[in-house]
Structure 1
């Protein structure tokens, strides 16, 4: 079940971190860069975020989450993560499908960034109609791929 999460609640923020940190550690290992901002979040930084969060719950347990921000001209998919024990079970696809079909209601672009070396993530987004539009250097030998789709 996908539900809206009140990330300003400290218990909810802690649950998000419990799933987010291991998920982004996997990405950090894949792209050989530990400067990924979600790796350094705290309960307080999650609580203060301006993002909207949705979680994938099963039997009351948070297995994955998606967060986004909406601007005047686009949606920014800022986080999409699944607990490593639940990879490859369709959770990320369920969250993204929910977001694209239930949240994105206007013909605005949706952008997302991921490590350029994170080929599984890039392939995942491409399967959902995203196209790589640019690379953003972030550190020596590390870049982010920005992908976009028009809804």
Structure 2
């Protein structure tokens, strides 16, 4: 990493009242995520590659990023690697050199599924604190939104 780019790791999790297979299927379809992620405005699939044990799905995503009294529209690339079973990994690449990599686990529990996202965030140092804060808040809100949809 460059001296201009900072890096942070965070973990967010939530409980969803549904079986892991259903929650995982919902999560890996980014068209669904636009319903529960507070920053995502739209999602477009740009390609799919079958892998030996699953697939990689590529997307273009439109966000609205709050910055003080302004809201900045941002378009970026995202990819999900979805193995047949196990953790899902995702990468999002935004301007200016903002990167979010995640590993998402879906564990069965007494009341349904526990989703745990391990986030690794890289951004220019002046933007790192706000980027990390927005990512953690947005992903926490997203997991709560998934739980609310499944509880309905």
Question: Structure 2-normalised TM-score?
Answer: 0.31
Where relative contact order (Cα < 8 A, 6+ residues apart) is larger, the structure is 2
Q: Larger strand proportion, structure 1 or 2?
A: 2
Q: Larger helix proportion, structure 1 or 2?
A: 1
Bigger Rg, structure 1 or 2? 2
